[in-house]
Amino acid sequence: MMDDARIEAIIQEVMDELNLGDRPRHGPSPQPLRPATLAELAPAPQLHHGDNLFPDVESAVAAARRAYLQLADLPLTLRERMIAQIRRVMRENAQLLAHEAWRETGMGRYEDKIQKNLLNANKAPGTEILDPTAWSGDDGLTLVEYAPYGVIGSIIPSTNPTSTVICNVISMVAAGNAVVFNAHPGARGCSNHTVQLVNEAIVQVGGPPNLVCALAEPTIETAQQIMRHPDVGLLAVTGGAAVVQAAMQSGKRAVCAGPGNPPAVVDETADLQQAGRDIVLGASFDNNVICIDEKEIFAVDSIADDLKRSMCSNGALEISSRQLDRLSQSIFDQVPPAGQHGAMNKAFIGKNASLLLQEIGIEVGEEVRLILVEVEPDHPLVLSEQMMPIVPLVRVRDADQAIDLAKKAEHGFRHTAVMHSKHLDHLSRMAREMDCSIFVKNAPSYAGVGYRGEGFCSFTIASATGEGLTNPISFSRIRRCTLKDSFRIV
């Protein structure tokens, strides 16, 4: 674990970059903040029923329904004020919520969780994306607008327990909806604290209380009850294959962000210094718990050694296949045979590379962010979504073989893929073959969600149901109104 001085130095770098150097595309520019020290960060609050946290699904949905009906009678400009206030409050509490998530879940990197919170607070799109469309002509006027669903049930993962709440709240409230959150039981405290802060922000500018609320003690059972509740009009689910399948079988419209196993392909035309640096940055971001992070590498044989050297000069440490065999006994629940994927040991998910290396007797400092190991194409680590800072590299004959193997390793999730190349035909073929919601060319994977990349941010990436990076339109009903009589002024 890093000492306080190192963490505080990293925080300063992060805040300088995100508050000053990366002007948000959506939402007001944040004011520079003085980073809090760990000592200044207050302990997580004791959360109680009544603070827009409810003991059961019925009371939560009823409260959200009342708030939704109240909002429907209030001016549309109020939504803009609510979103602006939510952004401000989330920026002010980005460090506190990151610290709570880091402490409660034991996963990821504190400094990266600050980045995730700020990224969503600044760049998740709000009301500005909901532009109406109109047609006028000899046959009258037709107006198309985006309307809310009502009450949305949102299931939140433990891997992004605060940033996903921020992302979903901004999109869902901007569209005029109320939300009932069911946090992951292992991240209940930090997720519910985020919900409470958002509720306070809404009320501060005149919005209705309980427009955003949550289950005080979320469980699998309460998630299922939300999915079945007749007053929940839409589901937004972020999680593993099982919860996504349950949502899609609920009979309701579901926006589902499921698992991913993003491959990174590097061909012989790539800028290897950049590729090595970018893959380490992406694959080690928050210790690889984010679904978009690079999970495996396919490198053309002629440049594989140079790529590995570049990675090792940028924070990676290569281990041997024999060392991997030993490490696999720890990081897998049970090591699967070649050609199959396996379940990862939850005790090591999101842990620092240094902790994983200790399992095989290697002591390193925090400058090592990622473990690199060369394997065969059918190794279980290639086929498993590891969510740990360890990335397998597979040598391939050429770019076509790399793309074929990448498609197999991605399992058809159609989530995220990365390619480092200057060859347009290779880039085009990979984009077509992978058919992913996010395809990143010559950058770290996180450029695909707007961090050091163009476009808005979303941490609810609905690859399973096809919406891709969600935004307020994803949580809106499209309604058309047609006036037959002439309504033209020309």
272/407 same-domain check: yes
Are residue 235 and residue 283 in the same domain, yes or no? no
Domain-located, residue 461: no
- Mean pLDDT across 470-479: 97
For position 34, what pLDDT does the model report?
A: 44
150 shares its domain with 270: no
The β-bridge partners of 420 are 266
pLDDT band at 434 (very low <50, low <70, confident <90, very high): very high
Residue 143 pLDDT greater than 80, yes or no = yes
Percent of residues, the chain, with pLDDT higher than 90: 84
Residue 4 lies in a domain: no
Please report whether residue 463 resides in a domain: no
| Pair (473, 422) in one structural domain | no
Summarised one tens digit per residue, pLDDT across range 331-382 is 999 999 999 999 999 999 999 999 999 999 999 999 999 999 999 999 999 9
Amino acid 41: pLDDT? 59
Per-residue confidence band for 13, with pLDDT thresholds at 50, 70 and 90 = low
220-253 pLDDT, tens per residue? 999 999 999 999 999 999 988 889 999 998 999 9
Residue 256, C-beta contacts closer than 8 angstroms, at least 6 positions apart: 235, 236, 237, 238, 244, 247, 248, 462, 464, 465
229 with 310, same domain?
A: no
Checking if the pLDDT of 25 tops 90, the result is no
pLDDT in the model for residue 19? 47
For residues 287 and 379, membership in a common domain is answered with yes
Q: Which of 15-29, 67-81, 116-130 has the lowest mean pLDDT?
A: 15-29
Lowest mean pLDDT: which of 13-17, 145-149, 372-376, 431-435?
13-17
The two beta strands, 212-215 and 468-469, are: unpaired
Same domain? For 249 and 295 the reply is: no
pLDDT in tens, 460-469: 999 989 999 9
- Percent pLDDT > 70 in the chain is 89
For the domain that residue 357 is a member of, what is the CATH number?
3.40.309.10
Q: How many CA atoms are closer than 13 Å to the CA of 356, on its beta-carbon side?
A: 35
Does residue 358 fall inside a structural domain? yes
Beta strand pairing call for 254-257 and 140-148 = unpaired
427 in a domain, yes or no? yes
Chain centroid to Cα 78, Å, comes to 27
Which pLDDT belongs to residue 7?
60
pLDDT confidence of residue 36: 54
Name the more confident of 472 and 37: 472
| Residue 413 forms part of a structural domain | yes
DSSP conformation letters of 367-388 = T--EEEEE--TT-HHHHS---S
Cβ 171 vs Cβ 130: under 8 Å? no
What is the residue-averaged pLDDT of the chain?
A: 91
Q: Output the six-digit token pair for 399.
A: 């770019």
> What domain range includes position 32?
12-38+47-258+469-477
Question: 144 vs 68, 147, 172, 470, 478, CA distance in Å?
Answer: 21, 10, 19, 20, 7
* CA distances in angstroms from 330 to 294, 349, 391, listed in the order given: 21, 11, 15
pTM: 0.90
More confident residue, 51 or 427: 427
**Does 230 lie in the same domain as 156?**
yes
> Has residue 26 been placed in a domain?
yes
Which pLDDT value is given to residue 241? 86
* Shared domain check, 438 and 347: yes
In a shared domain, residues 191 and 221:
yes
Q: Say if residues 374 and 392 touch (Cβ distance below 8 Å).
A: yes
Q: The domain spanning residue 133 has which CATH number? A: 3.40.605.10
Q: CB–CB of 169/86 below 8 Å?
A: yes
Residues 247 and 394 in one domain: no
Residues whose CB is less than 8 angstroms from the CB of residue 445 and which lie 6 or more positions away in sequence, other chains included:
262, 264, 282, 283, 285, 292, 293, 294, 416, 418, 438
Asked if 297 and 261 count as a contact pair (C-beta separation under 8 A), the reply is no
Assigned domain for 5 exists: no
Residues 182 and 54 in one domain: yes
Number of domains in the chain: 2
Mean pLDDT, residues 265-284: 98
Could you say which DSSP state residue 395 is in? E
Report the C-alpha gap between 489 and 137 in whole angstroms: 11
